[in-house]
């Protein structure tokens, strides 16, 4: 069979590798970290430098298609690879999704509605942005933020100094949205342009980290599903995206507010492993390998996915013992506060 190259060595890469193996593909991981959990299920070049052209050329030569599991990687090596081997999603999806300013502009161009926002490149611009947007607001670093890292909430203009000190520029100031729920649209677009998406999970966060995803979503989300899925479809189309694309939304009183996108499989889609007819990982592999996409339907009455953050994973014996409960531990060697160590999915059939 063919070999799928995966850039990035985290749990998402590991789960892609596992789904790829089920479909008969080999996987090859390129990861710069010493600890690549994806490498546990694939052959790997760990501690490899993404900018080393000898390493990249070797990687390209070994892969029939390349994908990525993390958007906070430099776009340059991905562009370089794309000139030598098919890369899905394309470097355009990566470039747009890794820059909050570009992402918001892109989404606005296809008719999406993010929170009121302003680009902030200096302390003076932060004052101007606060005057225009008001408080409460959130200052987010333009690039490289994840799990709430690289963002700070401002309750009043008096917080500007502290926020600037903590975040700095380039950044984006966003109005703080009042919402009843958060949800996500996990969409898959095939190489022939076929599109399908999953029923939306209700996503609850703790300390800006995803805590739990629940399906079916409450009525407030169901009412906004069609509009959010249509927007996600327009984004995927405009990007020429191939693979999974995830958009996060706030369910506000006046409709869905776009939060951010990820050009990849997503934590809020982990429930699909046991809770959907085809997992997001299997569908991602199908899309990037040119196979027909699989059914995205929910296969249970109710599905709940809970992240195991930090020391939470120590409760694993309870999860293994429980019925209709599926434990996933990522095999990370070191437990750290706020670190995603695993997740558990519960089905009500
Ligand atoms: P991820 O790990 O999802 O990539 P991230 O660091 O990119 O996270 P965001 O998704 O931008 O962060 O924000 C994290 C969480 O913080 C959101 O899911 C939401 O709960 C809250 N949040 C962020 N921006 C806003 C906003 N403008 N209004 C209200 N809540 C917000
Ligand atoms: Mg993000
Ligand atoms: Mg997010």
Q: Is the pLDDT of residue 163 over 90?
A: yes
Look at residue 40 in the predicted model and tell me its pLDDT.
85
Q: How far is the CA of 262 from the centre of ligand 2 (A)?
A: 7
Portions of the chain given CATH number 3.40.50.20: 3-87
Backbone phi and psi for residue 272, each to the nearest 5 degrees, phi listed first: -70, -15
Q: What 3-state DSSP class applies to 108?
A: helix
Asked: is 3-87 a CATH 3.40.50.20 domain? The reply is yes
Sign of the C-alpha dihedral computed for residues 260, 17, 333 and 272 taken in this order:
positive
Tell me, what's the pLDDT at 94? 98
Give CA separation, 212 vs 52, 78, 116, 222, in Å.
39, 32, 27, 17
Surrounding residues of ion ligand 2, Cβ less than 5 A: 260
Helix (H) or strand (E) holding 248: strand 243-252
> Is residue 121's pLDDT more than 90?
yes
Distance 322 CA to ligand 3 centre (A): 30
Residue 34 reports pLDDT greater than 80: no
pLDDT score, position 96: 98
What is the C-alpha to C-alpha distance for residues 114 and 102, in angstroms, rounded to an integer? 12
pLDDT band of residue 46 (cuts 50, 70, 90) is confident
Q: How many residues does the chain have?
A: 349
Ligand closest to Cα of 150 equals 1
CATH 3.30.470.20 spans which residues of the chain?
181-348
User: Residue with the nearest Cα to atom 18 of ligand 1?
Assistant: 208
Please state which CATH number belongs to domain 181-348. Answer: 3.30.470.20
What's the CATH class of domain 116-175?
Answer: alpha beta
Is 68's pLDDT higher than 90?
yes
Sheet of 43-46, strands arranged across: 43-46, 26-31, 3-7, 65-68
pTM of the model: 0.97
User: Mean per-residue pLDDT for 181-195?
Assistant: 98
pLDDT tens for 78-88 read 999 999 999 99
- Alpha-carbon distance of 317 to 341, in angstroms, equals 15
Q: pLDDT grade, residue 39 (50/70/90)?
A: confident
Mutate to test the pocket of ligand 1, among 104, 180, 201, 259 (most ligand atoms within 8 A of CB): 259
Whether the per-residue pLDDT at 2 is higher than 90: the answer is yes
pLDDT in tens, 216-244: 999 999 999 999 999 999 999 999 999 99
| Interface ipTM | 0.98
**153 carries a ligand binding annotation:** no
Q: Which residues pair with 175 in a beta bridge?
A: 137
What atom of ligand 1 comes closest to residue 149's alpha carbon?
6
The reply, when asked if residue 260 is annotated as ligand binding, is yes
267 annotated ligand-binding residue: no
pLDDT over 90 at 41, yes or no: no
In the predicted structure, residue 1 carries a pLDDT above the cut 80 = no
Higher-pLDDT residue of 180 and 72 is: 180
Q: Is the pLDDT of residue 35 over 90?
A: no
Neighbouring CB atoms inside 10 A of 157's CB total: 14
What's the CA gap between 197 and 189, in Å, rounded?
Answer: 9
- Cα 147 to Cα 206: distance, rounded to the nearest angstrom: 10
CA of 209 to the centre of ligand 2 (A): 10
What is the mean pLDDT of the segment spanning 122-146? 97
3-state helix, strand, coil in the chain (%, to 5): 35, 30, 35
The boundaries of every CATH 3.30.1490.20 domain in the chain are: 116-175
pLDDT in the model for residue 42: 86
């Amino acid at each position: 069979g063919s070999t799928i190259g995966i850039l990035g060595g985290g749990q998402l890469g590991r789960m892609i590798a596992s789904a790829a193996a089920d479909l008969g593909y080999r996987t090859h991981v390129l990861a710069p970290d010493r600890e690549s959990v994806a490498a546990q299920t694939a052959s790997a070049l760990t501690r490899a430098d993404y900018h080393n052209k000898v390493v990249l050329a070797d990687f390209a030569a070994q892969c029939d298609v390349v994908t990525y599991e993390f958007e906070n990687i430099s776009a340059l090596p991905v562009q370089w690879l794309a000139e030598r081997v098919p890369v899905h999603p394309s470097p355009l999806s990566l470039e747009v999704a890794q820059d909050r300013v570009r992402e918001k502009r892109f989404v606005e161009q296809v008719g999406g509605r993010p929170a009121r926002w302003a680009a902030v490149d200096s302390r003076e611009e932060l004052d101007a942005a606060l005057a225009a947007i008001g408080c409460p607001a959130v200052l987010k670093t333009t690039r490289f933020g994840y799990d709430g890292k690289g963002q700070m909430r401002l309750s009043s203009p008096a917080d500007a100094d502290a926020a600037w000190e903590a975040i700095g520029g380039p950044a984006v100031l966003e109005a703080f949205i009042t919402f009843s729920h958060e949800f996500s649209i996990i969409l898959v677009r095939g190489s022939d342009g076929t599109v399908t998406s999953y029923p939306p999970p209700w996503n609850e966060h703790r300390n800006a980290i995803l805590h739990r995803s629940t399906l079916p979503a409450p009525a407030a989300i169901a009412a906004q599903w069609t509009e959010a899925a249509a927007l996600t479809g327009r984004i995927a189309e405009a990007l020429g995206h191939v693979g999974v694309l995830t958009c996060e939304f706030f369910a506000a009183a006046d409709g869905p507010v776009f939060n951010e996108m990820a050009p990849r499989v997503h934590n809020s889609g982990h429930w699909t492993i046991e809770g959907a007819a085809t997992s997001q990982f299997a569908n991602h592999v199908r899309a990037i390998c040119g196979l027909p996409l699989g059914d995205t339907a929910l296969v249970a009455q109710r599905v709940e996915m809970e992240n195991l953050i930090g020391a939470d994973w120590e409760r694993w014996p309870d999860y293994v013992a429980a019925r209709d409960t599926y434990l996933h531990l990522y095999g990370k060697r070191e437990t750290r506060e706020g670190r995603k160590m695993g997740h558990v999915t519960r089905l009500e059939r």
